[in-house]
């Protein structure tokens, strides 16, 4: 595992004998997630209550890390079918702009 200047890695041995790498550079220890488990971790964190893109990224950054995690988690959350069906995007802008009627009941 290659070290970045901002990350400090510490290995921990699991009861199974496998090594879990953790980032100890912040006050909260974060586990490195290998590529084959990333989608599963996303589904566990996002699938429980579908908190949206920003909240999912924030929750995952607090506990885990991997290269380009923000980008990948953001893409997965944006393509979540349940979120797309249920979430209302209240920040959309009309393509027509604001229509100001020139008299009552006229548009």
- In this model, does residue 3 exceed pLDDT 50? no
Sorted by sequence, the CB contacts under 8 Å of residue 57 that are 6+ apart come out as 69, 70, 73, 74, 77
What DSSP assignment string belongs to 81-96? HHHHHH---TT---TT
Model confidence at 4, pLDDT cuts 50, 70, 90, reads very low
Among 40, 37, 45, 51, smallest CA distance to 82 is for 51
Residue 57 sits at φ, ψ, to 5 deg, of -60, -45
Note whether 68 and 101 are within 8 A (CB).
no
Q: Write down the pLDDT at residue 98.
A: 72
Residue 32 sits at φ, ψ, to 5 deg, of -80, 130
Place of tokens 């702009």: 97
Per-residue pLDDT tens over the stretch 10-65: 999 989 998 999 999 888 899 999 999 999 999 999 988 888 899 999 999 999 99
Residue 64, classified by CB atoms within 10 Å of its CB into exposed (0-12), middle (13-18) or buried (19+), is: buried
- In this model, does residue 92 exceed pLDDT 60? no
């Amino acid at each position: 595992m290659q070290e970045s200047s901002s990350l400090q890695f510490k290995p921990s041995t699991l009861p199974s004998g496998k090594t879990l790498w953790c980032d100890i550079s912040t006050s909260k220890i974060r586990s490195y997630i290998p590529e084959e488990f990333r989608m599963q971790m996303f589904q566990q964190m996002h699938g429980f209550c579908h908190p949206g893109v920003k909240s999912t990224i924030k929750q995952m950054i607090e506990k885990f890390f991997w290269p380009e995690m923000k980008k990948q988690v953001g893409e997965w959350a944006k393509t979540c079918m349940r979120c797309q069906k249920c979430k209302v995007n209240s920040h959309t802008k009309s393509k027509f702009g604001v229509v100001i009627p020139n008299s009552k009941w006229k548009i």
